[in-house]
């Protein structure tokens, strides 16, 4: 299935917060990071044309968050 929508400001979504990655996590750019500080948030993913949603957790470094914000506002 393909992802049709990512909901970041809906019910049961959480903003970015700083955590320590004790175990390997995959960031939004695809890098694997562990034993370091990262940012984490909970989002909802909508699959396909139907109304099927699943919760998802995203991780990012500070530099990825800065780059993502710049790309979002310059697009």
Confidence label for 4 from pLDDT (cuts 50, 70 and 90): confident
Q: What is the mean pLDDT of the chain?
A: 85
Q: Across residues 42-63, what is the average pLDDT? A: 86
How would DSSP label each residue in the chain?
--EEEEESSSTT----EEEEESS-EEBTTS-EE-SEEEEEEEEEEEETTTTEEEEEEEEE-HHHHHHHHHHHHH-
pLDDT of residue 34: 94
Answer yes or no: is pLDDT of 27 > 70.
yes
Considering only CA atoms, which of 42, 38, 44, 41 is closest in space to residue 16? 41
Q: Is 17 within 8 Å of 57 (Cβ atoms)?
A: no
Q: Across residues 2-17, what is the average pLDDT? A: 81
pLDDT of residue 58: 93
């Amino acid at each position: 299935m393909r992802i049709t929508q990512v909901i970041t400001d809906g019910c049961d979504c959480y903003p970015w917060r700083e955590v320590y990655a004790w175990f390997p996590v995959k960031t939004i750019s695809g890098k694997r990071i562990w034993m370091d500080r990262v940012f984490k948030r909970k989002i909802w993913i909508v699959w396909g044309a139907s109304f099927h949603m699943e919760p998802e957790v995203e991780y990012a470094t500070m530099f990825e968050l800065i780059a993502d914000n710049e790309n979002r506002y310059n697009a």
